[in-house]
Amino acid sequence: GVGVLAVLWWIVFNASRKAALEWKKNNPGEEVILYANGANCFAFPGEKFTLRGNGLLVLTSTDLHFDMWGLKKELKIDLRAIEHAGTVKSFAGRRGRLPLLHIIFRMPDGGKLETAFAVGNAQNWADIIRTGIAGGGKIKFQKEWSENGSGT
C-alpha cells in the first residue's frame, strides 16, 4: 500500500540526488545548458553498447551526458559526433507517452549508434542540440532557454 509507495519514492529520490551530486563532483566547471534527472534511456539497437534505464541526462556546451542511476553505466557523446537530433514517437519497439529525444551519433571506431530518451520538452532538447551541431560542437547558452523551462 502506501508504505511500499513511500519506500519506492525514497529509493528513486535518493538515487536521483546521488546521481546529480556525483555528476557535479566529476564534472567541475562544466557549463550545464539543460538537465533532466529521471530521463529514461531506451536500448541501443545493434548491441554494440547496452544502456537502458533511468538516470541523469545533462547537456553541456560541448557534450550530451547520460549517467544511469544505481549502475555505474554512463554515456558521453561529443556534440561534434552527433549527426541527428530530433524526436520520434517510438524507438526500439517501445513507445513513449510523449515524443522521445532521438540521437544518432558516430562512435570513435567510425560506426554509428542511435538512442532515444524519454525526457520532458524533447523538441526543445533537439533544437538546442542542433544549435551545437551547427556551431561546430559548441553551444552558447541563451538565457531564454532557462526562462522557458527547457531544463526539465
DSSP states along the chain: -HHHHHHHHHHHHHHHHHHHHHHHHHSTT--EEEEEEEEEEPPPTTSSS---EEEEEEEESSEEEEEESSS--EEEEEGGGEEEEEEEEEETTEEEEEEEEEEEEE-TTS-EEEEEEE-TTHHHHHHHHHHHHHTTS-----HHHHHTTTT-
Are 37 and 56 within 8 A, CB to CB?
yes
Distances in Å between the Cα of 26 and the Cα atoms of 23, 29, 119 are 5, 10, 23
From first to last of its 152 residues, the chain has per-residue pLDDT tens of: 766 666 555 565 566 667 777 878 888 888 889 999 889 988 665 555 567 788 999 999 999 999 888 777 888 999 999 999 999 998 877 777 789 999 999 988 888 888 999 999 999 999 999 998 888 888 876 655 554 444 44
First-last CA distance in the chain: 29
| pTM of the predicted structure, to 2 decimals | 0.80
| Integer Rg of the chain from CA | 15
Report the b/e string of 132-148 with b at 16+ CB within 10 A: bbeeeeebeeeeebeee
**Amino acid in position 75:** L
